[in-house]
Each structure stands twice: as C-alpha cells, then as structure tokens.
Structure 1
Amino acid sequence: MLLRRRKPRTPHATLLAAAIAALLAVFTSVLGSPAAQADPAGHHAPRESRPVYSYKDAIRESVWVDTRLDGDGDGRTDRVAVDIVRPREPAQQGRRIPVIMDASPYYSCCGRGNESQKKTYDANGKPVQFPLFYDNYFVPRGYATVLVDLAGTNRSDGCVDIGGASDIQSAKAVVDWLNGRARAYTTRTGTRTTTASWSNGATGMIGKSYDGTVANGVAATGVKGLKTIVPIGAISSWYDYYFAKGAPLYDGGPDGLSDAVESPEARARCGAVQQKLVEGAPRTGDWTPLWTARDYTANVSKVRASVFAVHGMQDLNVRMKHLGQWWDGLADAGVERKIWLSQTGHVDPFDFRRAEWVRTLHRWFDHYLLGVDNGIEREPMADIERAPDRWSTDKVWPAEGIKTTTLHPRPGTAAGVGDLGTDPAAPGSSAVFTDDPAHSEADWAKRIDTATPDKAGFSTPVLKEDLRLSGSSRVTVTATPSTSSAHLTAVLVDLGPDTIRDYTADGEGIRTRTDRTCWGSSTTGDSACFKATEADTANVDYTVVSRGWADLGNHADEGHGGPLTPGTPYTITLDLAATDHVVPAGHRLALIIGGTDAGLIEPPASTPRLTIDLTRTSADLPLVGGAPVLAGSSLPAADGPLKGVGVPRRSVLLH
C-alpha cells in the first residue's frame, strides 16, 4: 500500500492571523482604511461604513417566508412577501452582511414617509422602488434592506390582525429566516425554497408608527438575531391606542384600521378575523383577551435588542404614554437604549432633523449591526427639542434629579382660576363644571383665567426660576357626577408666551418645501432625493404640556367599567403622557380638569355635572429639583382669551 505523507498542520497562530487578516479585509472594504479616516488636521475620525458598493448593480429580489400560521383558514400556512435589495459584491466575495428591516402594512395601501411612497415592481414582479432612504443610503455601505409586507397586505397571504400574532409573526419569521431557522420560497405558491446565505443574521428593525409598533412587538418575543430596533412614534400597548382607562379615544377601533390596510384578497377571505376584532374590542373600553395579546409591555423583560426610540411629545395619534411605559420597562430590564424627543406630532425625524438623524442612525446601525466601536453607546442618552430646531442633551432620561412632587388644586382669589401649589386645599373645598363635548383642551386653556362652566382650572404663581417636568405624571381626581356616566380629562399647561412647532397643523410641526435633498445613491426607479422640510411654527400664549383621560366608571377597575350612581363621589387616577418640558421663569404651570376633550376622546352617554372634591384631588409631577423651584409671586388674571393652537382630529390611520 502506498502511504501518503500527511501535510503538516497549520499552526494555530497562523490560522488566527489569517482569520484576523480576513476580518480586517472585510472591515477595510466597508469601513475604509485608517489612512482614509484621517482629517486634514491629522486627527482620526470615528470609523464608519463607507459607500463602496454599487447601488445600481445591487441585487433586487423577492421571497415569501412561511409564517407557520394559517390566519385565513385556507388549509396552508401563510407566506409573507419580503422584498430585498442588497449589494452584489459581498456575496461574490463570500461575505455575509447585516440587515435593516422595515415590516409594514402600508406598502401598497397608503405609502411610507412624508411623500407617501409605495413599493413598485417591474413587469416581471421584480421590486423597483423601495420607499424611504434606507436602501439608497445603507446598501452602498454594506447593508441589505428588507421590506416585509405584513400578513394580509400587498403581496402577502393571511389576514391583518392589528398587532396580534399574525402581525408579529410576519416579521419574526423573517428574522428567523435570516438566521436559518425558517423556510422561504422563491414564489408565493411554489415549492422551490431559498435561503438567506448572504445574511450574517444580524438584523435591525426600524419604522414609524405601525412599523415601529411591529418592531416593539417582535423585540418583546426575544427573538435571536434581532440586534437593535428603532421605533418611531410606536405603540407599546394597543389598548392604549384606542382607550384611556375606559374612555374611548376618538375615531373607531382596530377593525377600521384593518379594513384600511388589508389587500383585496384578504378583504374577501378574512371576515372571521375582522369579526373577532369587532367582538374583542367593545367600545365600552373594557380590557379583553384581545388587548392582553397586544400588550408588548407585558413582555418587555424579554427584549434582547438595543432600542433607539423617537417620539413627538405632541403626538396625538400615538401618544407619549406609549413611549413612557415602554421606556420604563426597558430601563427596568437593563436594555441599552437611546431616545430623541421632538416638539412635533406624529413625524419622522427624517423630516424634522434630517442631517443629524441620518448621521446618528448611521452610527447606531454601524455599532449594533457591524460592531464598529464608534462610541455612540457612551454618548448622552437623550436629545430633546426645547424650541423649534433647538436641541439639548441629557446623560440619562428621564432627567437626573427628579423628585415626584405632589401639587394640590385650591380655590383661588381670582375669578376663574384656582391656585396650584404644595399646600392641600382647605376641608370642604370644591370646584364644579359641566361636561361640554363641543369644547377641547384648547378651549379650556385659552380661558384659564376666566370662569367658564366647562372646566376647573388651577395655576401656580409666576415662577421665579425654570421648572422642568421630565417623565410621566398622574392626576388623582375625586368627582361626584350628576349622571350615570362621565369622562374626565386632566391637562397640564405652560401659561406664557412662546414660539412652538404647530403640531395641530396638517404637517404636525413641519412644512414641506419643493426643493429636495439627497441621501445615498439613486436609480431610475428609486431616487435618493426627498423633499426638504422646515419647522412650521406658531406664536402662542400657552402650551399644552401633557394630557390624560379616563372613564369615571372605571374607578374600581381600570380595565372594566360600570354605571355610576349620581350623587356618589368616586376617585380615579388619570395617567398623563410622558413628556420633557421646561416651564420658563416668568410663566405659570396650570392644571385643568374637564370632561370630554373634544376631538381626542368620545363623550359619555350623558352630559354630567361634576363636583370635584379638591381635598381629595392632587397631581404627582416629575419635577427636576422638586418643590423648591415652585416659589413665586401672584399674577393678576389675564385680560381676555389666550392664544394657542387647536386640536387636530385623529386619523383612523396610524402612518
């Protein structure tokens, strides 16, 4: 027998050196060489991924991922459509790349972004236009962009279930596929499978509104491979999108949203799912199993991904309560996180702080998906907009030095407005108002210093120094109704002149211009250039800081309500949305208690007269520095109404 000599083993050190060299080659091709990083002064800028790959020659393809669910009951598991654009060169070089994913129900019905962009396809069904800038900017930098049609929308099977198992599994199954744990097919109905051999499994989910909500939900499953999420104006509990402690928020239920986003095929076959949405979300505001299945805060401890959250502090679509409770849960779970809070309504940061957003998002994804040590996780946690286009930073959020301070409303000496301070009201003190469903927080605030029959208003003296609220507030009210049903609203107001973003205008704080700015590479069918925006401002005499609502019938159980006994006092606590607001020296802080907040909550079945027991009514506020900063002097009542902004009617659509 002829014996062959064994080749000598390669020493471990040699293997390690080769592996390191290969890894360095990868990073050098994407991040650039150290020499290329140096600035003219000789300093080295932070490493970052560079646009070294061809966007024009990128691979554009579609696959259908098996969700392992059968939402439409047709006897086969639902497949969701996944459109992918990725650079061609890494696969040719045998290298795998990370993924930026946006899972949405809006790619065909309503569009994404300020210009309502939709997916487009060529005659063969190959994807052409990917909405938003993520593909244009990040694909040349070595990322794949993956856009998922949620079940029941666009080119996907199944039914829309508004935040339930179908929505979340639509996106989670794609994360699993990217990590080799799920099956995908090259066509919607065929049998030919395909793998994500080009993916390294590291996935970051991003999206505004419904899309960001899905990112929250998927992160709450603890799925492996999801490295980071960037939820923008996102829901954390679907009950809180439609109700506030039993009080129905304006404009319908989940069945209406489902009907708006589902594909024609889903509309024809998903009647049973629609009926479950109707039955599971009664307008009584009672908590049902449907809401339990759509409460992501219950599983926030499972989140493995880092979180970069963005929210408008004047978002009256997805209110700041969603951000506040999600953020608190993330903090308790020790999740790495970052936050931007703007003065806008329901607006993407690409449209209120574009250049800084692209730069920061780039560094965030580079760190958490490419492993670049650029220091972003060591930078201040919070960026907060203090005035239109004027931002401050904080090491942590909520701010350091917060002391929960209890303020008490008291009858005042001025006609129309009571006092608000740290001393409790005298025994027997009360205030009376009658619910007027035609009036809103804006109507109440502009007449804070005038006695009106539809509200009870209370104000601090003029502040001698700035007063900062940072976090969530609670207002406890003891009220005696004259009828068997009553809704309550509590509003915090900064009384004083200011220039703010007009969050009640059509742009919710931004104005869209006709000129464009470009972010990344373009093709004939997919432009990287988007209309520029600017702040849309208003000069006001007051600013609503935060608000909260409740059905007084939920006094005993916030998840279940019942009829009231006229003439009987009831105590309930209203959760006010999280915020971060500075009431400047020279201004006053006001608390308004009213009934129906027109345009934001629906009125009760009756029109009650409510007597507020001021000795059992209080506000717990997160004040930086606590009570000492409240010292001030009295202020004469203002002459006539104050000037502010109105209240927009909330749309049935989230986007």
Structure 2
Amino acid sequence: MTIRARVTRSPWQVLAVAAVVALLSALIGPAAAQAAPGGSRPVYSYDHAIRESVWVDTRLDGDTDGRTDRVAVDIVRPLEPAQQGRKVPVIMDASPYYSCCGRGNESQKKTYDAQGRPVGFPLYYDNYFVPRGYATVLVDLAGTNRSDGCVDVGGRSDIQSAKAVVDWLNGRGRAYDARSGGKAVTAGWTDGATGMIGKSWDATIANGVAATGVKGLKTIVPISGISSWYDYYFAKGAPLYDSGPDALADVVESSDARARCAAVQQKLADGAPRTGDWTGLWTERDYVPDAGRVRASVFMVHGMQDLNVRTQHAGQWWDALARHGVERKVWLSQTGHVDPFDHRRAEWVATLHQWFDHYLMGYDNGIDRAPAADIERAPGTWSTDPRWPAPGTAATTLRPAKGSAPGVGALGTERAPQGATETFTDDPKLGENDWAARIDASTPGKAGFRTGKLTAPLRLSGSGKVTVTATPSTSTAHLSAVLVDLGPDTIRNYGAEGEGITTLDRSTCWGAGTTGDTGCFKETAADTAKVTQTVFSRGWADLGNYADAHEGRPLTPGKPYTITLDLGASDHIVPVGHRLALIIAGTDAELIDPPSSKPRLTLDLSRTSAELPLTGGARALGRATDRAAADAGDPGAPLDGIAPPRPPSRLP
C-alpha cells in the first residue's frame, strides 16, 4: 500500500479550507462523510461541532465517600449527523494527564470556558476526525482532573474508569450532566463502535480495557503502552526505578483526590515492596494473561529505544495476542518514548485514518491486508514485513567463549569447555554505553563476547533471552545483559531530551480548527547521532530470583546460580562488516538500582548462552559468520506465539 504524504498548510489555509468544507457539507448532505468512496472525508463543520461534558458512573466507590464515583468525559462530535438522526463512531483517549501534565509533544491540557464547557481538546484527534464523521471522547481517569475516585495506577479503578465509558457508549451504563446529581444522559448519538488510542499510561489503559473483553471496543491503538505494571518497576526482581506506583499516583491525582485518597496511596505503597517480590497488586495489573479475552483489533506502536516503557512490554503483549489470533499491526521506530505523530507524521495520520475507517466505519480499504509491520531501519527510513517477527525467524542459540584477555571473549555456536569462566565486579557507576565502548578492552566491570566481522547481514527480529550461570561473592547481586551492534552508524539520538526528535519553531495544521483549538502543531525533525556502536536490546534480573521470577531469595556466596534474563523485543539488522556482541554485567547505571553490595560475579561459560530471534535461524548465522551451512546445524526452532491474524469475522 502506498501512503502519500499529506500537503502541509498554514493555519489560515486550514481555516479557509474548513469553511469551504462546511459549506459543501451543507450543500451535499451529511451522509457524504461515510458515503465517500474509499474513506471518510472532512465534510462536517468543526466550528459548529457539539462540545459537551458528561459524568459516567463507574459503579465503584474508590474514595469510600458513600456514593459511586463518576468520571468526567469531554466530547466533541459533528452536529450534522445528530441533526439527521445518524449515529457516529467514537475515538476515545482515557488519560490521567489532562490537567497535571498535558498530552503530546507540546504538553497540551484540556481547556474550558467560564461555564465549564470544554473548548480545547489535546492532540489532533478531534481536529482531524470530527470533520470526517467521528466523535472524540476524552476521559479523565478516576482521581484526576474533574473525576471522582482515586488513582490506582493501572488497577481496577483505572480500567473501570474507561470501561464504564465504553459501556455507556453502548447503552449499558449511566451518565449525568453534572458531577453530582444532575440529569441522566444517554449516548444515542453513537453507534457504540469505539476505538481507544493513547500513549504511555493512556495506551496502558487501552490494553487493560481490551483485556476485559468489553463489547463495543472494536480496536485499540496503544502507543508505548505497558502490558504488565510489575515489569514497569521490576525485571525479575531487579528494581528499575527508585519509586513505586504511589509516587506516580501522587503526580497525577487532583487536589480533591489527594485530600481523600490517602488509604489508596498506602495500599499502592504496601503492595509494591522494593524487594521486587510479586504481590496481588501486580496480578491485578498484569493484562497479558487476559490477552485471550481481547475482542478488539490492535495497532501497536513502540520505540525500540524506549527506556521508559521498555520493549519487554511490547514483545510479551504482541506474542500473547498472536497466540490468541488477535488481528494486529505494529510500527517499531528507532526512537525512545515518542509518539509517531512526532517522528512520522504524514504517514502516521494517513495510516491511522485508514485504520479507524476500516475498524470503526467498516470501509474495505485494504488496511487489514497490508503488511503487518513497519520497522524503522535508519532515521526516517522504513521497511515492511507481512508479519512480525519477520517470516523465517527462529530462536537460535549463541554461546560465549573465553578470549585471550580477561573479560574479552568470542560469541559463536560452540559450547565453552567445562571450567571456562569470566569474572567481573559490579560497578553501579557504569552502564550499557560504557561497557559497549570498551568491548575489546579488558575492564573489571563487564564480560563482553563478540563475533568476528559479519560477511552477510544478520537480522534479529522479536524477543530473545540470555541464560546465565553465575557465582556471586555476596548475598545479593544484579545482572544486566545487552546486545550490541559494533560498527559505525547514524542513529536517532534516543538518549537526548527529545529521545530521537528535535522540535522545530514552525507549525502545520492537521484538520480544522477554532480559536480555542487550532489543530496546529509544531513540526519535528530527526535528532541524529554518529556512533561507533549501538545497544539495541537489553534485559535485567536479580540473581536472587533464580528459583522464582517473582520471589527473591538470599544468595549463598560462592555457590553458582542459573537465571534467564528476558531481552526487550527489537528488530535490528547487523550489517556486513559489523560485529554482534553480548555483554553481561551487573548494575546498569540509571536503569536499575544497585544491590546493597558490589559483588564479584564469576560466569560459568559452559552454562551461559543467548537464545536470539535470528531471521533465517542458525543457517543465517552460519552465513554471516562465514561458516559452512552444514556447520550451522539445525536451522532453529520457529518462535512460539506467532500466528497469522484471525479473520475480521472474529471481531464483534
């Protein structure tokens, strides 16, 4: 499918075009938006759209004030279909950020007039899609902005805040025109077909609501979303941040919630001990086991260098959806925690338009038959695959071998002899880039293993894992494993403030606008950096979780332990002339908290290996490392969980 770039316009041109479109709408009739061949068109007036607020009853009493909590829902929908008695579908973003922090690259917040009526809707969904016959619905999660209840960070209240709105849109819930008391309000203007979209926490809510199996939710578009909250804070016991969900709740909750939700905050703190042990709090906030309940199609977007919501979330959610045959599509960029609107704007809006037109309006526009995966190969350069991980990808085992210098070894297919070891000492001041920059040097803080220069490109597509057998010198120890492409390249500067993008001074407009909501946004450009090596996948663990991924145990110094580290999903091609490297070390500075000691760890190389998702399997590895195909052995086992999408008829 060819996606043509959208022609950018100045703000006055957008408003002029919107006026002409509104006039044409009145002349040719409101049915035109959904009768247009191939897709919806902007024939409805944005200026005259209906803007309203309702409060939906969640049927929960999270703040224990004796009445069920209501969540605020701000709506903008086209006037003309309502006048004609025609129903419209919904694009919905449920978020905790509408008043505290804002949405998008410019941190836009909701705005209201003196009477409390909504005026400014963050992001472009309303500007672009309302003239095309969609309603945009923005939900304040419980405990935030104008909603009742308490923030519970991905738990029952968070998910029910949004699910209750989907129920109401489908005639199964209650809503009122005021936060307290008020008249009952129905959603007779919608056909109930709902698509949820959002980035980060918003995307997480979309995942969680889809995992309830709620009827009427036709599709979700999670951008950099969490699939299990435990994995946001821990990696097999290793603490990834120096705070917990209670601190996050404190950032977003309203002043009203802060005054009445101390008990909920305490439950969040008590249920998330910094030991990294699994509790019931994490079970409630793990959506992956419920992937089989998902009725909606899923268009997942993630930055492969996202060190906030790391790609472990994307990989495990994608694989779980695949195992259950959920219709799905994925975009993977080289950015960090960045919305595709800010790194591939024209193509993103065009693709999203097709996606919503197909799954919410029923257009047969081919988006469901298009390649399932778009992968950014270099800044601004993309490739496609019919499915993801790439066809022919197989789990393939690579093994480390001892080198001639301490901590500098080879990476290949042969198992190291018994007794071969490498030793390093945890240095919490060092991180993945420090280790990678000195991969060929003997340094005390890491053990590095690399192939020779590749004679053919080697593609890694999907999620891998590294199994380590290590003997610690102390009773606590953390481990990190990273994959590195050793060779010069120009990449997105994901470690900078913009995480791979630069925000420019000029703006372009994406849809119609008003004085209070222009639909104009600052342009961006790729922020690039020249590098000599690129870390493209990483994983962490507390060695004390060797027997149970969710419960740590004290270690006995001098005793060997075996543990598997889950690497983040990625799709990376190591080119000819570069080398593939595996680094095993302790604390990864700024990514995991250090243990209480600085252990010395001895790796048993004969019992350490990496199982990597190589496209072409072991034979591709043999070609790339200049071995005969016969020496490469079995081509590798196909990756689990990869199945073609189920047919559209499976959707409700």
TM value normalised by structure 2: 0.91
Aligned-residue offset at 1:189: 0.3
- On the 8 A contact 2:30/2:43 being kept in 1, the answer is no
Q: State which of 498, 510, 515 in structure 2 corresponds to 1:507.
A: 498
Secondary structure of 1:309 counterpart? strand
Q: SS of 1:372's equivalent?
A: coil
Shift, 1:31, TM fit: 3.9
Are 1:305 and 2:287 counterparts?
no
Tell me the amino acid that sits aligned with residue 521 of structure 1.
A
What code does the residue aligned with 2:422 have? Answer: A
- Which residue does the alignment assign to 2:634? none
TM superposition shift of 1:298: 1.1
Counterpart pick for 1:420 among 411, 421, 430:
411
Whether the 8 Å CA contact 2:31–2:81 is kept in 1: the answer is: no
2:261 aligns to what? 270
Partners in 2 of 1:142 and 1:572 — Cα distance? 53
**Matched letter for residue 467 of structure 1:** L
What is the CA–CA distance in structure 1 between the aligned matches of 2:357 and 2:625, rounded to whole Å?
Answer: 52
| CA distance in structure 1 between the aligned counterparts of 2:97 and 2:236, rounded to whole angstroms | 29
Once the two structures are superposed, residues 149-186 of structure 1 have per-residue CA deviations (whole angstroms, 9 ceiling, x without a partner) of 00000000000000000000000000000000000000
Query: Which whole-Å CA distance do the structure 2 matches of 1:623 and 1:279 have between them?
Result: 42
SS at match of 1:412: strand
The answer to whether the aligner puts 1:246 opposite 2:249 as a matched pair is: no
Structure-2 residue corresponding to 1:58: 49
Find the counterpart in structure 2 of residue 29 from structure 1. 32
Name the aligned partner's letter for residue 235 of structure 2: A
Aligned to 1:285: 276
Partner of 1:81: 72
Opposite residue 230 of structure 2, the aligned amino acid is: Y
Provide the rounded CA distance (Å) in 2 between the counterparts of 1:244 and 1:187: 43
> Conserved in 2, the CA contact under 8 Å of 1:415 and 1:449?
no
For 2:190, give the aligned amino acid.
S
Task: Confirm whether residue 142 of structure 1 aligns to residue 161 of structure 2.
Answer: no
- Residue in structure 1 matching 2:213, options 194, 219, 222: 222
> Which residue among 158, 165, 168 is the counterpart of 1:174?
165
Matches within 5 A, 1:51-200: 51-200=42-191
Judging changes above 3 Å, is the alpha-carbon distance between structure 1 residues 164 and 26 closer, same or farther for their aligned structure 2 residues?
farther
Shift of 1:26: 8.8
Answer yes or no: is the 8 Å Cα contact 2:614–2:621 preserved in 1.
Answer: no
Question: Could you tell me which amino acid in structure 1 is paired with residue 218 of structure 2?
Answer: K
1:359 to 320, 331, 350: 350
Q: Determine if contact 1:431/1:612 at 8 Å carries over to the other structure.
A: yes
- 2:15 is matched with none
Distance in 2 of aligned mates of 1:213 and 1:202: 20
1:539 positional shift: 0.3
Aligned 8 A contact 2:102 2:109 in 1: yes
Cα distance between partner residues in 2 of 1:153 and 1:129: 17
SS in 2 for 1:574: strand
Residue 49 of structure 1 aligns to which amino acid in structure 2?
A: S
Name the aligned partner's letter for residue 482 of structure 2: V
Which of 449, 466, 474 is the equivalent residue of 1:458? 449
Write the deviation string for residues 304-357 of structure 1: whole angstroms up to 9, x where unpaired. 000000000000000000000000011111111110000000000000000000
Specify the alignment match of 2:648 in structure 1. none
Cα distance in 2, alignment partners of residues 434 and 415 from structure 1: 12
Structure 1: how far apart are the matches of 2:187 and 2:272?
39
Question: How much has 1:402 moved relative to structure 2?
Answer: 1.0
SS in 1 for 2:359: helix
Cα distance in 1 between the residues matched to 2:565 and 2:30: 52
Q: How does 1:309-320 map to 2 (within 5 A)?
A: 309-320=300-311
Match of 1:462, SS state, is coil
* Amino acid in the other structure paired with 1:386: R
User: How far 1:117 sits from its partner (Å)?
Assistant: 0.1
Amino acid at match of 1:528: G
Q: Could you tell me whether the CA contact under 8 Å between 1:244 and 1:550 is conserved in 2? A: yes
Q: Deviations over 1:407-456 (max 9, x none)?
A: 11011135652000000101110000000011001110000000000000
Contact 2:396 2:617 in 1 (8 A): yes
Q: What secondary structure is seen at the aligned counterpart in 1 of 2:360?
A: helix
| Secondary structure, counterpart of 2:85 in structure 1 | coil
Which residue in the other structure is 1:615 paired with? Answer: 606
In the alignment, the residues of structure 2 paired with residue 360 and residue 582 of structure 1 have an alpha-carbon distance, to the nearest angstrom, of 25
Per-residue CA deviation, residues 134-160 of structure 1 (Å, 9 max, x unaligned), is: 000000000000000000000000000
Q: Distance in 2 between matches of 1:26 and 1:476?
A: 64
SS class of match (1:547)? strand
| Aligned residue in 1 for 2:4 | none
Structure 2 residue aligned with 1:385, among 369, 376, 383?
Answer: 376
Query: How many Å apart are 1:28 and its aligned residue?
Result: 5.2
State whether residues 30 and 44 of structure 2, in contact with CA within 8 Å, keep that contact through their aligned partners in structure 1: no
Amino acid at match of 2:618: A
Residue 62 of structure 2: SS of its match in structure 1?
coil
* 2:378 is equivalent to residue 375 of structure 1: no
Q: Is the 8 A contact 2:466 2:566 kept in 1?
A: yes
1:574 to 565, 576, 579: 565
User: Quick check: which has more Rg, 1 or 2?
Assistant: 1
Q: Report the RMSD for the aligned CA atoms in angstroms.
A: 1.2
TM-score w.r.t. the length of structure 1 is: 0.90
Distance in 2 (alpha carbons) for counterparts of 1:324 and 1:26: 46
- Does structure 1 residue 478 correspond to structure 2 residue 481? no
Distance in 2 (alpha carbons) for counterparts of 1:367 and 1:69: 34
Alpha-carbon shift at residue 585 of structure 1 (Å):
0.8
Q: Which amino acid aligns with 2:408?
A: V
Aligned to 1:650: none
Shift of 1:190: 1.5
Residues 463 and 630 of structure 1 are in contact (CA less than 8 Å); yes or no, is this contact kept in structure 2? no
Residue 269 of structure 2 aligns to a residue in which SS? helix
Cα separation, 2, equivalents of 1:176 and 1:213: 19
1:626 Cα deviation after fit: 1.6
Whether the aligned pair in 2 keeps the contact of 1:434 and 1:608 (CA below 8 Å) is: yes
Which letter does structure 2 place at the counterpart of 1:81?
Answer: A
SS of equivalent to 1:363: helix
Tell me the distance in 1 between the aligned counterparts of 2:551 and 2:518: 50
Look up the match of 1:496. Answer: 487
Which secondary structure does the structure 2 equivalent of 1:194 belong to? coil
Match of 2:438 in 1: 447
| Residue in 2 that maps onto 1:647 | none
- Among 327, 330, 334, the residue aligned to 1:339: 330
Contact 1:301/1:333 (8 A) holds in 2: yes
Corresponding residue for residue 565 of structure 1: 556
Q: Distance in 1 between matches of 2:34 and 2:168?
A: 27
2:536 matched to 1:545? yes
Q: Aligned partner of 1:284: which letter? A: T
Secondary structure, aligned partner of 1:411: strand
1:225, 1:630 → 2: CA distance? 46
Q: Could you tell me which residue of structure 2 aligns to residue 43 of structure 1? A: none
Give the superposition deviation at 1:124. 0.1
Q: What is the CA–CA distance in structure 2 between the aligned matches of 1:129 and 1:504, rounded to whole Å? A: 32
Q: Is the 8 A contact 2:54 2:74 kept in 1?
A: yes
Q: Residues 626 and 27 from structure 1, CA distance in 2 versus in 1: closer, same or farther, beyond 3 angstroms?
A: farther
Structure 1: 5+ residue stretches without partners: 1-24, 35-46, 635-655
- 1:366–1:353 distance in 2 versus 1, CA, 3 Å: same
Distance across 1 between alignment mates of 2:288 and 2:215:
19
- Give distance in 1, aligned partners of 2:495 and 2:159: 32
How many equivalent residue pairs? 598
Query: Within 2, Cα distance between the matches of 1:561 and 1:282?
Result: 12
Shift of 1:534: 0.4
1:80 is displaced (CA, Å) by: 0.1
- Equivalences for residues 525-544 of structure 1 within 5 A: 525-544=516-535
State the shift of 1:33 in Å: 4.9
Instruction: State the secondary structure of the residue aligned to 1:258.
Output: helix
Unmatched tracts of structure 2, length 5 or more: 1-27, 627-652
The more displaced of 107-116 and 243-252 is 243-252
